[in-house]
A and B are shown apart, each in its own frame.
Chain A
């Protein structure tokens, strides 16, 4: 049902008076023959002034549609839309045009005027084709499921609880703490966090359990937790913080991997049990990766060894990755303490003879001499690897893994921890192993994002999401497969595919892929797009 719009408001927004230099409203209006309209110019600077001007204009002229024309009219879109909503009008019967474009592209005054008129007329015709968009109120569950009891999961849970949401934290193992539990010097910090976690009434901890099944959508996921007990919960959001595996790159070491060659984590244990020999060689960057956690561990351990045991310490690496808080200082302190650093290009040769490790490398600096070091212990930088269950978990949540097998964020530029599926987030090492400060920041930022989303407990959605015509749908599942947001499900009873409005991002991929043309986006139906095309051609062709 389309309501024909009787009168269109033309609201020209010119706070700095720039448009006025090029265009006069009277001149525009005199050219708008055949259009039933009312017009006004507002020079109020944003917020209340602009809103009041607009509301008065709408009320006085009994408008139900308006064209907003200004330099950057989109920037105040929300203000205009809210005013329309408040007055019970259709907020999609608003068109925004940029008169600045007319001014920049044209140049001579008369042409600017023609272009401005053309833009306004087209926008007005476009509105006439816009029917109202339905809205739907969706209740949001104020409980969050956090998977993983490492520092990323703990910090996310604490921040969420601090913001007033309930949290269920599911840990696969027995103990909380994850990767950093093994690091000396962070144990007090971790202990405090775990105590705070256990004290917090809003957080429920379920250990030795895992996610077995999920259904539903953002704001109302139904999740099944399996372990000692089985439980089914409804949660509003899911945070994946399942960490990563830190492994010694054995394949790079070949046959030389024996008790004299150990990984950084094993060395951490030796450090805490004071089992440190007199000559130690650290070797990192055997596998090229995006990470700096290896270098950070190297610097921390090398410094500790030098300071506490005064061993001879030699570090071999490709690049010293110090781009973390305090990294350069740590490097400087290590050098000052007497730790030696050499950089290599070609992989060093490793031999183990009579319990002595012999490492030979070509020094990168001139004169590129071969250097040979003997050490009692070779500590090898560990590479990050995805955990075993990642694929299964990704499938359960219908999210993607990247080429290395870690969880793939949707768009690094918006919030790196958002997944392609609304309401599912990745925090910490399962997406990208980072140092503790970065992980903590990420955890808090993600928690804040979830707080912003769930705190109100309900959301009013404009149903601009894709719509499937169930009469035409033949259940070929093309849309289910192509949807990058996991927003389409199969309704067995009705024998049709169905879009979950809250998960849909209105990208239109399903609409363009559907072989029987059963899917349309309400704002861009075929009829509307055709109408727009015809409109824009009218001036030029006729």
Chain B
């Protein structure tokens, strides 16, 4: 007997979108989430609306999480991880290790499912690996993700050293993207749009702040992106096509100096900033290989799960489908669409 049950590994935006679409089609869906709650990275993003919505999609995560709870057909297993796996399409067996109610105890759960959707998402690039930028060494060098979190929790931007409002802010693009020296030969797609939206938000809230975006190429993202860029330029945000080579500073001090090249004169310049925001890219999960080995699916050269040809949701193992950023960098709306597309592929298989 084939099973119409589906396991979705990962309860981020892509996983939830796939699960909802599958539940709509009458499947019983298990979301296997290793965190204590669903929503993934997007659940920690801040709304970046200024005088109008800038379409950052951060609010969508909150709405989706509420929505997924309204489906009795979706069982959310938080604190769970896949331990082992066997069987064939239509008849998979999954061993799940699940955190029991009492802490530090785990219980084993076995699920029988007809198909699986892998939606394990991404890891933000570990900015410490770019030693020259001094992340973690200098407190006022933060990642865009840190900025998102602090904006979401406190609603304002502050220097980590003393909590004051930074006046001069730099965004460094392509930290962990398009960089062969650290083995990241791909564009993460999302960093340009989020850096532009964040800088627009900061500039709108504190017009006296001086913002510079150091970039390589500005990557478009969807409709209306060109207008967003124009509005950033109109607000007085500086765009400098030049990635800084080094950040100088002192531990426990808020002094930060950025070494870059003046595009007009060709001279090396040292410029002081109050806050440096590293626009970190999307990397595969640290343990992406473990899951790939467990499930018998292929990874690409960068460690993302490989999709089969033009079948963007099919992994190399039949019956196992891919959704979201685990297959390659994706924005929130792309992840949602990819999740739904995965559900369509699952549906096609289960109906046969």
Smallest CB–CB gap between A318 and chain B, Å?
8
A79 to B226, CA, bound (A): 44
Whether a CB of chain A sits under 8 angstroms from the CB of B223 is yes
Instruction: Indicate whether B98 reaches chain A with its CB closer than 8 angstroms.
Output: no
Q: How far is A343 from B339 in the complex, measured between Cα atoms in Å?
A: 37
Chain B 46-70: CB-based contact to A (< 8 A → 1; otherwise 0): 0000000001010110000110011
**Contacts A290-B225, A455-B25; A164 near B70 (Cβ below 8 A):** no
- CB-based contact A432/B223 at 8 Å: yes
Residue among A323, A402, A413, A417 making CB contact with B189, cutoff 8 Å = A323
List of B residues within 8 angstroms of A289 by Cβ: 220, 226
Per the bound structure, the CA–CA distance linking A412 and B189 in Å amounts to 17
* Chain A 426-467 near chain B by CB (<8 Å), digits 1 or 0: 000001100011101110110111011001000000000000
A321-B219 in contact given A77-B70, A328-B187, A452-B21 (Cβ < 8 Å): yes
Partner of B348, one of A163, A364, A436: A163
The CA of A28 and the CA of B112, in the complex, are separated in Å by 45
Q: How far is the CA of A77 from the CA of B70 in the complex (A)?
A: 6
Is residue B261 within 8 Å, beta carbon to beta carbon, of the partner chain?
A: yes
Q: Is B224 an interface residue (CB 8 A)?
A: yes
Is residue A260 within 8 Å, beta carbon to beta carbon, of the partner chain?
A: no
B258 at the interface (CB under 8 A from A): no
- Point out the residues of chain A lying under 8 angstroms from B57, CB to CB: 412-413
For A406, give the chain B residue with the smallest CB separation.
B223
Q: A77 CB to closest chain B CB, in angstroms?
A: 6
- Chain B residues in 8 Å Cβ range of A409: 223
User: Given A46-B69, A445-B337: A440 and B223 within 8 A (CB)?
Assistant: no
Closest to B229 in A: A288
* Shortest Cβ distance from residue B327 to the other chain A in the assembled complex, whole angstroms: 9
Closest chain A CB from B48 CB (angstroms): 12
Known: A290-B225, A416-B222. A364 touches B338 (CB 8 A): no
Contacts known (A163-B351, A322-B178, A364-B241); A445 close to B70, Cβ less than 8 A: no
B334 in contact with A438 (CB, 8 Å)? yes
Is there an interface contact between A79 and B72, defined as CB atoms closer than 8 Å?
Answer: yes
Q: Once A and B bind, how many residue pairs between them come within 8 Å at the CB atom?
A: 154
**Residue in B closest to A453 when the chains form the complex, CB atoms:** B24
Query: How far apart are the CA atoms of A431 and B347 in the complex, in Å?
Result: 26
Within 8 A of B (CB), among A233-264: none
Of the candidates A320, A322, A415, A455, which one forms a contact with B340 in the assembled complex, judged by CB atoms under 8 Å apart? Answer: A415
> Is B201 an interface residue when CB atoms closer than 8 A count as contact?
no
B25 touches A452 (CB 8 A): yes
Check if B337 sits within 8 Å of A416, measured CB to CB.
yes
Given A79-B72, A413-B55, A448-B347, A319:B25 Cβ within 8 A: no
- Supposing A328-B178, A416-B333 touch, asked if A444 and B310 sit within 8 A by C-beta, the answer is no
Q: A159 — which chain B residues lie within 8 A by C-beta?
A: 344, 348
Q: Does B71 contact A (CB under 8 A)?
A: yes
- What is the distance, in angstroms, from B158's C-beta to the closest C-beta of chain A? 22
A495 contacts the other chain (Cβ, under 8 Å)?
no
Q: Judge whether A322 and B187 touch: CB under 8 Å.
A: yes
Whether A79 contacts B70 by the Cβ 8 Å rule is yes
Tell me, in angstroms, the Cα distance from A46 to B72 when the chains sit together.
9
A191: chain B residues within 8 A (beta carbon)? none
Contact call B72/A442, Cβ cutoff below 8 A: no
CB-contacts of B192-245 with A (<8 A): 192, 217-226, 241
A332 touches B70 (CB 8 A): no
- Are B348 and A162 touching (Cβ within 8 A)? yes
State A18–B137 Cα separation when bound (angstroms): 39
B219 touches A451 (CB 8 A): no
Set of chain A residues within 8 Å of B338, measured between Cβ atoms: 441, 445
Q: What's the Cα separation between A76 and B65 when bound, in Å?
A: 11
User: What are 23 A-B pairs at a CB distance below 8 A?
Assistant: A47-B75, A79-B72, A82-B72, A164-B351, A189-B310, A288-B226, A292-B219, A320-B217, A322-B178, A322-B219, A328-B178, A365-B263, A366-B263, A412-B223, A416-B337, A441-B313, A442-B337, A444-B344, A445-B338, A445-B340, A448-B343, A451-B344, A455-B25
The 5 closest A-B pairs by CB, nearest first: A366-B266, A444-B341, A78-B70, A452-B24, A323-B219
Binding site for A on B (CB under 8 A): 21, 24-25, 55, 57, 59-60, 65-66, 69-72, 75, 178, 180, 185-187, 189, 192, 217-226, 241, 261-266, 310, 312-313, 328, 332-334, 336-341, 343-345, 347-348, 351
